[in-house]
């Protein structure tokens, strides 16, 4: 008898399960019927900028009936996740990213070209250059970032005219280490690049397609002069550059007022302003008569090559995120210079943004070509060795040889 | 379920069951779990099955047939096990086995599979994806061509473009028929409708994205004039492609240089002089990755000293943590120590702080110019704790000792307390010195229970990625090595650098290395476990 009760219950369980299953099946069907599923744009966004985009996404849905689904992602994972998930067909339609990913994304075949059409002229030239890879535009730019010198205007009221002048002004104000820049045990070539360009040694030469990986300019005569100068400012010289100064130490020195000049990007201005410092933004003081141009990093949006909604994705990016209002909204959230010229002008009413924009006008886009990966591998460690007293010219020649070998 | 009870209940003479019978009924009731237990069981299985069925539907709708089949079979087996009246061992083992398969076996098998492919930068997807990506990147806008206002139109299911050129002339065409001029209905200088065609609104355009992405309307009869495509359904541009894909021959031809690229089984279209068109696609490459892992000249030098250092790091870490932990355990086991409890709590502290955090804090304290150790403890000395190859190795070992000794201290404390006091007393009566008591009696008895833990600790330290990554990131860099490897890199952190840093990922090579590391650790562990068997004869 009890056996019977048991089998009855078992049958009941099977029935319950089947019902639940059918219910879930019905729910699943409802989701995949019609065009509701096909006209949802999935956009991966740096988690900190979801709120900034939310308004724009909702407004677009309102206007065109296309649902825009923003997914906040950790900035460190976006690129690798995008590369891995696009081929599976499970990736997003659009992702936010940085222009120097382009080489890698394109080599993996995960991005689709974007046609900016006539609106290409409305963007800052550096933004368009950075969005272009091998002659094709793949990215809709929304912000341009570059480093500049932040000066503590209470300690040093006037901008420096040259590198030596900066050190002299700082020492006159009674500071032993007036200038700080983020380095590390493995160097930090990104932050030293303006000084290198001042000696006329860009990483790569350019042709009409953008940077030319076969034309390595790093090791030209200017590069060796730069290395010699770097050594003279390193451990065995004036000690201005020190590989023990990492990001946190540099920041602390500036906030404590032991340094009056800090070579860094807009991402660090907030902390200086919050600390109540009176800051001014200057261009990078050059150690030579030439201009010191930092790298420009451009942020933007990419369309997945496997997207099922390319038309909507292109429309959303080019005809909507490329408008002044939306670019300004993103600017409000991230405080970086908009890539659209009109929006950039409006944003430049803020003196700090204006300062960075003025430096940005001299900036060069960071190379996105895959060969750049080989440069990064050796570049920083060579600079760190030079700062710490290795023979500058020999180290620089070895760096050039290593990079050349790795690119082949 | 004894039937006698049922007979008892349904007997004609309703007499009270005897005490024994009542007891037996109670026992049977308890043994069968009762209706309540059964209900709980059914409910739990119902939840499991509901989730499984839902998963199967999702999987089938996304065409993952294999996974759906596996989920179905596993669910069926689970139900069969739990609804049966026997198979008690299986009931206990099943959940563990399922988790083991999902979280361990699958990962191992998948890593093994990747090790035999060329998965990495440039070989990321399937061949179709590579072809479509190459073709879409090969489109070039015809120089100085204007932007055309377009309207997407449809005729009997075939899509066409209604194009307005900058002069305001309207023409219509499809993928097969070049543009021909038509009289169209204009709205604000843009042709919006034409007789014989249905104009698509934005929602329709989006619903037919795939067709529109493929749609290229030839500008004229001459293919060299290019074709008009529309990326967003409202503006069109004139494009020429500089690659031609011949699906039948499986070749890509660069139209501007005339170079022919063929699929030679290398996972990318390759020209005769070895030039590859990237993106390529994933292929199975057999043992290539393993061969490269051990014969690659770039890696040969670094691989040798990194392997040596990995063994040294793991062995020294195990030995140093064990002996420090054991020493402290013996000291705090002595009844003459006062306040042993408080000391023990202090000893556990390094173990209680997450190793990520403490490694970072140590890295800060060991900074050469600004670190606490040099500035405060050594009064401004500049010891290159993390920047000199030899000193950095010592620093790593010291930090790992600090992180690891509390565990050994705990283990040894427990093991020491299980050794009977009489042994020590008997030895002392026989006139043994304390050192001899420790060496000949306590240590062997300790090792019986601690040896397996030492082997586990060795395996853990062999792959102790966290400490290395957080403390030195493998640095200081070996500037002579052709790969970005440092003097404190262990095998696993070197593999990480090969696979995940820079702009070229090489998952195939990294998986091959992981498997090699796994084999090394497994072999050492097996040998060590065999050796420890001899210890157990002590008891």
Place of tokens 């900028």: A49
Which residues does residue B153 pair with via DSSP β-bridges, in sequence order? B160, B199
Q: Has residue B162 got a pLDDT over 70?
A: yes
B63 at A interface, C-beta within 8 A: no
Tokens for B325, please give them. 């932990």
Q: Has residue A396 got a pLDDT over 50?
A: yes
Judging contacts by C-beta atoms under 8 Å, the chain A residues touching residue B203 are: 35, 39, 65
d(CA A200, nearest CA chain B) in Å? 25
From the number of C-beta atoms within 10 Å of its C-beta (0-12, 13-18, 19+), residue B225 rates as: middle
B240-286 residue pLDDT tens: 888 888 888 888 898 888 889 998 888 889 988 888 888 899 999 99
Interface touch B6/A306, C-beta < 8 Å: no
Query: B527: part of which helix (H) or strand (E)?
Result: helix B507-533
Judging contacts by C-beta atoms under 8 Å, the chain A residues touching residue B39 are: 9
Interface touch A32/B61, C-beta < 8 Å: yes
Strands B148-155 vs B235-241: parallel, antiparallel or unpaired: antiparallel
Interface touch A107/B279, C-beta < 8 Å: yes
Q: Has residue B4 got a pLDDT over 70?
A: no
Q: Which of A29, A259, A311, A366 has the most B C-beta neighbours within 10 Å, making it the best mutation to test the interface with B?
A: A311
Q: Among partner residues A38, A83, A246, which is closest to B124 by beta-carbon distance?
A: A83
pLDDT of residue B504: 77
Which residues does residue A133 pair with via DSSP β-bridges, in sequence order? A136
Q: How many helices (H) and strands (E) does chain A have?
A: 16, 16
Tokens for B509, please give them. 């090579």
d(CA A165, nearest CA chain B) in Å? 26
Q: In whole angstroms, what is the distance from residue B43 CA to residue B45 CA? A: 5
Mean pLDDT of chain B: 86
Q: Please say whether the beta carbons of A183 and A246 come within 8 A.
A: yes
Which residues does residue A264 pair with via DSSP β-bridges, in sequence order? A148
pLDDT of residue A34: 38
Residue B191 has φ and ψ, to the nearest 5°, of -70, 125
User: pLDDT over 70 for what percent of chain B?
Assistant: 94
Determine the average pLDDT of the residues in B306-319: 95
pLDDT of residue B6: 44
From the number of C-beta atoms within 10 Å of its C-beta (0-12, 13-18, 19+), residue B301 rates as: middle
Q: In whole angstroms, what is the distance from residue B404 CA to residue B355 CA? A: 10
Q: Please say whether the beta carbons of B451 and B532 come within 8 A.
A: yes
pLDDT of residue B26: 64
Q: Among partner residues A13, A246, A384, which is closest to B46 by beta-carbon distance?
A: A13
Tokens for B333, please give them. 């086991």
Tokens for B378, please give them. 């050594």
Place of tokens 């995120």: A321
Q: Please say whether the beta carbons of A350 and A337 come within 8 A.
A: no
pLDDT of residue B369: 84
Interface touch B207/A10, C-beta < 8 Å: no
A339-383 residue pLDDT tens: 999 999 999 998 999 999 999 888 999 998 888 888 888 899 899
B127-148 residue pLDDT tens: 888 998 898 888 888 888 888 8
Interface touch A185/B386, C-beta < 8 Å: yes
Q: In whole angstroms, what is the distance from residue A278 CA to residue A152 CA? A: 6
Mean pLDDT of chain A: 86
CA distances from A279 to A155, A157, A255, B64, B160 (A): 10, 10, 11, 58, 59
Angle of CA points A373, A375, B293, to nearest 5°: 60
Among A342, A302, A309, A310, which Cα is nearest to A323's? Answer: A342
A283-307 residue pLDDT tens: 999 999 999 999 999 999 999 999 9
**In A219-315, beta strands by DSSP E:** 261-264, 279-282, 295-304
Q: In chain A, whose CA is at the least distance from the CA of B503?
A: A373
Count other Cβ atoms within 10 Å, centred on residue A247.
Answer: 15
Interface touch B503/A9, C-beta < 8 Å: no
Judging contacts by C-beta atoms under 8 Å, the chain A residues touching residue B46 are: 13, 16-17, 20
A188-228 residue pLDDT tens: 999 999 999 999 999 999 887 788 888 999 999 999 999 99
Interface touch B133/A118, C-beta < 8 Å: no
Determine the average pLDDT of the residues in B498-524: 86
Could you tell me the pLDDT band of residue B301, with boundaries at 50, 70 and 90? confident
d(CA B26, nearest CA chain A) in Å? 14
d(CA B125, nearest CA chain A) in Å? 5
Q: Has residue A105 got a pLDDT over 70?
A: yes
Q: The pTM is what? A: 0.80
Q: In whole angstroms, what is the distance from residue A68 CA to residue A82 CA? A: 18
Angle of CA points A163, A164, A168, to nearest 5°: 120
Interface touch B49/A21, C-beta < 8 Å: yes
Q: In whole angstroms, what is the distance from residue B10 CA to residue B208 CA? A: 73
Query: Counting every residue, how long is chain A?
Result: 408
pLDDT of residue A12: 46
Q: First and final CA of chain B: distance in angstroms?
A: 46
Which residues does residue A96 pair with via DSSP β-bridges, in sequence order? A301
Q: In whole angstroms, what is the distance from residue B121 CA to residue A107 CA? A: 7
Could you tell me the pLDDT band of residue B33, with boundaries at 50, 70 and 90? low
Judging contacts by C-beta atoms under 8 Å, the chain B residues touching residue A108 are: 121-122, 124-125, 279
Among B61, B50, B55, which Cα is nearest to A29's? Answer: B61
Report whether the peptide linkage leading into residue B279 is cis, meaning its omega lies within 30 degrees of zero.
yes
Query: Counting every residue, how long is chain B?
Result: 539
CA distances from B123 to A56, A241, A372, B78, B276 (A): 36, 41, 19, 39, 12
Interface touch B137/A244, C-beta < 8 Å: no
Q: In whole angstroms, what is the distance from residue B409 CA to residue B425 CA? A: 24
Beta-carbon pairs below 8 A across chains A and B: 195
Q: In whole angstroms, what is the distance from residue B268 CA to residue B129 CA? A: 12
B276-298 residue pLDDT tens: 888 899 999 999 999 988 887 77
Q: Is A211 helix (H, G, I), strand (E, B) or coil?
A: strand
Determine the average pLDDT of the residues in B393-407: 94
From the number of C-beta atoms within 10 Å of its C-beta (0-12, 13-18, 19+), residue A330 rates as: buried
Q: In whole angstroms, what is the distance from residue A145 CA to residue A198 CA? A: 19
pLDDT of residue A39: 78
pLDDT of residue B31: 60
Could you tell me the pLDDT band of residue B15, with boundaries at 50, 70 and 90? low
- The string of DSSP letters for A123-140 reads B-HHHHHHHEETTEE-EE
Phi/psi region, residue A292 (left: phi>0; alpha: psi -120 to 50; beta: rest), is beta
pLDDT of residue B145: 85
Among A289, A259, A270, which Cα is nearest to A151's? Answer: A259
């Amino acid at each position: 008898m009890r056996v019977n009760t048991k089998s009855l219950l078992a049958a009941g369980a099977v029935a319950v399960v089947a019902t639940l299953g059918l219910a879930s099946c019905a729910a699943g069907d409802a989701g995949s019927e019609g065009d509701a599923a096909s006209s949802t744009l999935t956009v991966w966004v740096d988690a900190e900028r979801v709120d900034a985009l939310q308004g724009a996404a909702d407004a677009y849905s309102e206007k065109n009936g296309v649902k825009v689904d923003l997914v906040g992602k950790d900035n460190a994972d976006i690129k690798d996740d995008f590369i891995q998930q696009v081929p599976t067909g499970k990736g997003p339609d659009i992702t936010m990213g940085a222009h120097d990913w382009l080489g890698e994304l394109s080599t993996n075949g995960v991005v689709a070209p974007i046609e900016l059409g006539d609106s290409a002229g409305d963007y800052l030239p550096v933004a368009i250059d950075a969005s272009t890879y091998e002659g094709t535009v793949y990215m809709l730019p929304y912000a341009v970032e570059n480093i500049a010198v932040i000066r503590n205007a209470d300690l040093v009221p006037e901008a420096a005219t040259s590198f030596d002048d900066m050190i002299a002004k700082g020492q006159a104000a009674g500071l032993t280490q007036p200038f700080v820049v983020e380095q590390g045990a493995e160097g930090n070539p990104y932050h030293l690049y303006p000084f290198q360009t001042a000696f006329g040694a860009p990483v790569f030469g350019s042709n009409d397609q953008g940077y030319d990986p076969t034309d390595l300019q790093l090791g030209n005569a200017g590069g060796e002069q730069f290395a010699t100068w770097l050594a003279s400012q390193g451990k065995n010289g004036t000690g201005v550059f020190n590989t023990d100064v990492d990001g946190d130490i540099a920041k602390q020195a500036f906030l404590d007022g032991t340094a009056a000049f800090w070579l860094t990007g807009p991402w660090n201005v907030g902390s200086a302003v919050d600390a109540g410092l009176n800051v001014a933004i200057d261009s990078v003081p050059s150690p030579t008569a030439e201009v010191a141009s930092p790298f420009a990093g451009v942020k933007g949006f990419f369309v997945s090559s496997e997207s099922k909604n390319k038309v909507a994705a292109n429309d959303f990016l080019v005809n909507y995120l490329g408008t002044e209002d939306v670019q300004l909204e993103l600017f409000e959230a991230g405080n970086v210079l908009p890539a659209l010229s009109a929006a950039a002008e409006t944003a430049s009413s803020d003196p700090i943004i204006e300062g960075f924009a003025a430096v940005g006008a001299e900036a060069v886009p960071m190379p996105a070509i895959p060969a750049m990966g080989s440069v990064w591998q050796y570049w920083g460690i060579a600079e760190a060795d030079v700062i710490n007293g290795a023979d500058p010219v020999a180290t620089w020649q070895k760096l050039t040889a290593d990079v050349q070998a790795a690119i082949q | 379920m004894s039937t006698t009870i049922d007979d008892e209940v349904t007997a004609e003479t309703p007499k009270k069951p005897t005490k024994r019978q009542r007891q037996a009924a109670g026992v049977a009731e308890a043994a069968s779990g009762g209706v309540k237990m059964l209900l709980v069981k059914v409910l739990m299985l119902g939840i499991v099955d509901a989730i499984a069925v839902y998963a199967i539907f999702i999987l089938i709708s996304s065409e993952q047939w294999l996974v759906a089949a596996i989920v179905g079979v596993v669910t069926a087996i689970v139900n069969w096990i739990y609804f049966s009246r026997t198979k008690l061992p299986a009931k206990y083992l099943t959940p563990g086995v399922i988790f083991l398969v999902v979280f361990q076996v699958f990962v191992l098998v998948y890593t093994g599979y990747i090790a035999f492919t060329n998965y990495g930068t440039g070989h990321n997807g399937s061949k179709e994806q590579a072809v479509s990506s190459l073709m879409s990147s090969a489109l070039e806008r015809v120089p100085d061509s204007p932007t055309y206002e377009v309207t997407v139109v449809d005729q009997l299911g075939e899509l066409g473009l209604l194009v307005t050129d900058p002069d305001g002339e309207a023409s219509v065409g499809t993928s097969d028929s070049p543009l021909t001029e038509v009289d169209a209905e204009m709205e604000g200088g843009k042709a919006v409708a034409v007789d014989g065609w249905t104009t698509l609104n934005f929602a329709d355009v989006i619903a037919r994205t795939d067709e529109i992405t493929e749609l290229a309307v030839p500008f004229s009869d001459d293919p060299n004039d290019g074709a008009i495509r529309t990326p967003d359904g409202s503006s069109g541009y004139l494009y020429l492609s500089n690659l031609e894909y011949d699906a039948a021959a499986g070749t890509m031809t660069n139209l501007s240089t005339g170079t022919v690229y063929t699929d030679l089984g290398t996972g990318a279209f390759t020209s005769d002089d070895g030039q590859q068109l990237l993106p390529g696609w994933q292929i199975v490459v057999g043992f290539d990755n393993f061969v490269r892992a051990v014969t690659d000249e770039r890696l040969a030098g670094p691989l040798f000293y990194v392997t040596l250092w990995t063994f040294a790091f793991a062995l020294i870490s195990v030995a140093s943590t064990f002996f420090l932990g054991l020493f402290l355990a013996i000291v705090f086991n002595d009844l003459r120590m006062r306040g042993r409890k408080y000391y023990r709590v202090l000893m556990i502290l390094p173990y209680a702080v997450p190793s990520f955090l403490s490694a970072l804090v140590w890295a800060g304290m060991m900074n050469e110019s600004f670190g606490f150790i040099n500035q405060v403890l050594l009064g401004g000395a500049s010891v290159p704790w993390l920047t000199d190859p030899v000193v950095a190795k010592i620093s790593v070992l010291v930090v790992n000792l600090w992180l690891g000794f509390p565990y050994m201290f705990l283990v040894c404390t427990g093991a020491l307390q299980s050794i009977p006091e009489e042994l020590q007393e008997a030895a002392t009566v026989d006139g043994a010195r304390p050192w001899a008591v420790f060496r000949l009696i306590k240590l062997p008895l300790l090792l019986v229970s601690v040896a397996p833990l030492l082997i586990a600790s060795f395996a853990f330290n062999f792959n102790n990625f966290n400490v290395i990554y957080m403390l030195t990131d493998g640095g200081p860099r070996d500037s002579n090595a052709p790969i970005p490897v440092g003097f404190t890199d262990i095998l696993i952190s070197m593999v990480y650098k090969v696979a995940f840093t820079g702009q070229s990922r090489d998952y195939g090579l990294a998986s091959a290395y992981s498997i090699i590391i796994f084999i090394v650790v497994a072999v050492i562990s097996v040998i060590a476990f065999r050796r420890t068997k001899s210890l157990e004869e002590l008891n």
